Amino acid sequence: MAAKVKMPATAKKGDIVEVKVLVDHAMETGQRKGADGALIPRKIINKFVCTYNGKQVMQADYHPAISANPFMSFFLAASESGEVKFQWFDDDGSVQEAAQKITVE
């Protein structure tokens, strides 16, 4: 799994910046059958969390109806330079991460 993150690398203090994240994930619902006729096990991202310098700024809980390769777009206030970190939690217990730095002038 991987994520594509699009957000500005720099901002002025107090600016509201848009953050866009596209997660590469098949999001298998557990309701389809494979070529052998057996159900394909459920494997979805069930939670997405964004933190800004260690403080949570956004969380989304997902369910089987979410599309493959989910896309998120949200805004945050640029208050200080640091790291914006993204984590997504899978049904199998795995946690994937991505991060991007922002410089606030």
pLDDT digits over 24-82, tens only?
988 888 888 999 999 998 888 999 999 999 999 999 998 878 888 999 999 999 999 99
Query: Is the pLDDT reported for residue 3 higher than 70?
Result: yes
State residue 66's pLDDT score.
81
The mean pLDDT of 77-89, rounded to a whole number, is: 97
Looking from the CA of 8 toward its CB, the CA atoms found within 13 Å total 16
Retrieve residue 85's tokens: 């970190």
The mean pLDDT of 86-92, rounded to a whole number, is: 93
Residues 59, 84, 47: CA angle, nearest 5 degrees = 25
CATH superfamily entry for domain 2-29+40-104: Immunoglobulins (2.60.40.10)
Domain boundaries, the chain: 2-29+40-104
Q: How many helices (H) and strands (E) does the chain have?
A: 0, 8
State residue 29's pLDDT score.
84
